Amino acid sequence: MKLFRFHLFIIFLCLSYFPVIAQVTAQWRGPQRSGIYPDTGLMTEWPARGPLLLWSATGIGQGFSSAVSDGTVVYVTGMKDTMDYLTAINMKGELLWQVPFGPSWSGAFPESRTTPTLENGFIYVISGGGTVACIQASDGKIKWSFDGLKRYNGALGEWGVSESPLVYENKVIYSPAGPKTTLVSVDKNTGEPIWETPSLNDSSAYVSPLLIHVGDKNIIVTTINKYFLGVDADNGHILWSFNYAALHPEASLKIWPGAPKTNTITPLYNNGYLYITGGYNHVGAMFKLSEDGSKINLVWTDTILDCHHGGVVYIDGYIYGANWITNGNGNWCCIDWKTGKKMWEEKWFNKGSIIAAGGMLYCLDEKTWNVGLVRSNPQKFELISSFKIKQGKGPLWAHPAIYNGILYIRHGEELMAYDIRKN
């Protein structure tokens, strides 16, 4: 009995000194929303025909959202008729359940855009029409939902809501914008309001917010129609805002009328610096944060990597992505993180989305459906392997994702799972 009590005492001491590690959230563009996936043991060269296609699931609805997975089930959203649905798929590609969670966007490009955020057995989503919902991952039962646009008097851009909710501690965060507020947080267990930021009198864009840690602050950073802003994640206080719309390229580059209100790219963060970019000949911009995160200063701007909506990644001092030449065309680029200097710009089919894992870039050509495995090399565009997607219809706008060595590519109403693990 004494020995048993001694063991209990030792366990108590361990729990006191070593904090419990929280379950990792599966979300938009990986664990840190950076486009970098932590998977190891992946192939550094693919077979001539591409990696093995394990399965292809259809019937998920039309959409541009990415997939997320907890290792046993894959979740993705899609539009059917006028509703956005969440679908659960097992590791054989079989549909387990589907549930409608809110109205789709009713204007142009109504396909679902929200990538599910998965944490501790619950999934958080936002429909194109503005419904915010929490859904049980096990069976698709809706725990809570509300009309975010109605509750917060939100102001939208011309393509509806295109945002993946951010989960931080007990909060779910998203950006309705408008005359009442800009960013809000609700209780992840109940959906009840926690805080609202003041309004910047701006409309929302299509950016999924990013959480960063600077000094003793947890800061949410995002870009809406005009403004780039940072918000204290604990209390909703706006720490800083910057009029991104006021930045213009040199006179030789004619900015497209739709810029910069069509911002879509989640900011990049590294070691006290933040990078944002938008397409349409609008400039990218690098900012330095103060040591306590309460201020930002503009460091440089670039006109090379004006990313349309395919995302960018940071690897070892360089930023990789695709730029905008027209709405249907663009090149692949690399620029220096410290200066914005162009390292290279390469034509490879067309612009598209990008993620990375193990020092390799995964590039998806949105127009002709080619998938490239590219070495992250600041000296040149170094294509190692490629293959062509044959399933699905429409533009390949959904960002790819990697979970447990499986590359998930969503094309229209089909989700494909490719085995990219080394033998």
Give per-residue pLDDT as tens, 99-132: 999 999 999 999 999 999 999 999 999 999 999 9
Picking from 295, 232, 234, 305, the residue whose alpha carbon sits closest to that of residue 275 is: 305
62-204 matches 304-423 in fold: yes
Query: Which helix (H) or strand (E) is 150 found in, with range?
Result: helix 148-152
**Cα 284 to the center of its chain, rounded Å:** 18
Q: Give the pLDDT band (50/70/90) at residue 252.
A: low
Both ends of the chain: CA-CA distance in Å? 50
pLDDT digits (tens, 9 = 90+) for 315-367: 999 999 999 999 999 999 999 999 999 999 999 999 999 999 999 999 999 99
Q: Is the peptide bond before 31 cis (omega within 30 degrees of 0)?
A: no
Q: Is the pLDDT of residue 3 over 80?
A: no
| Helices and strands: H and E segment counts in the chain | 2, 32
Indicate the CATH number for domain 62-204.
2.40.128.630
Picking from 126, 128, 112, the residue whose alpha carbon sits closest to that of residue 62 is: 112
Show the DSSP H helices in 236-291 as ranges: none
The residue-averaged pLDDT of 253-270 equals 85
| % of the chain with per-residue pLDDT over 90 | 88
Backbone φ and ψ for 85, nearest 5 degrees, come out as -120, 150
Question: Is the Cβ–Cβ distance between 284 and 269 less than 8 Å?
Answer: no
Strand ranges in 20-130 using DSSP code E only, listed in sequence order: 52-58, 68-69, 73-80, 83-90, 95-103, 117-119, 122-126
Range of weakest confidence among 47-51, 187-191, 244-248, 273-277: 244-248
Question: What was the pLDDT predicted at 249?
Answer: 76
Q: Give the pLDDT band (50/70/90) at residue 16.
A: very low
Question: What was the pLDDT predicted at 142?
Answer: 98
pLDDT digits (tens, 9 = 90+) for 157-180: 889 999 999 999 999 999 999 999
**Amino acid, single-letter form, for residue 108:** A
Backbone φ and ψ for 71, nearest 5 degrees, come out as 100, -20
| % of the chain with per-residue pLDDT over 70 | 93
Question: What was the pLDDT predicted at 332?
Answer: 98
Interatomic CA distance for residues 10 and 16, integer angstroms:
10
* CATH 2.40.128.630 holds for 304-423: yes
pLDDT digits (tens, 9 = 90+) for 375-405: 999 999 999 999 999 999 999 999 999 999 9
Question: What was the pLDDT predicted at 251?
Answer: 61
Query: Which helix (H) or strand (E) is 14 found in, with range?
Result: helix 2-17
- Partner residues linked to 285 by β-bridges: 276, 301
Q: Percent helix, strand, coil in the chain (nearest 5)?
A: 5, 45, 50
Sorted by where each begins, the domain ranges of the chain are 62-204, 304-423
CA distances from 349 to 148, 166, 325, 329, 396 (A): 39, 33, 13, 9, 13
pLDDT digits (tens, 9 = 90+) for 44-83: 999 999 999 999 999 999 999 999 999 999 999 999 999 9
- Partner residues linked to 88 by β-bridges: 75, 97
19 against 220, higher pLDDT: 220
Picking from 249, 237, 247, 204, the residue whose alpha carbon sits closest to that of residue 223 is: 204
Task: Return the SS3 of 332.
Answer: strand
Q: What is the DSSP letter of 163?
A: -
Show the DSSP H helices in 253-383 as ranges: none
Question: Is the Cβ–Cβ distance between 186 and 147 less than 8 Å?
Answer: no
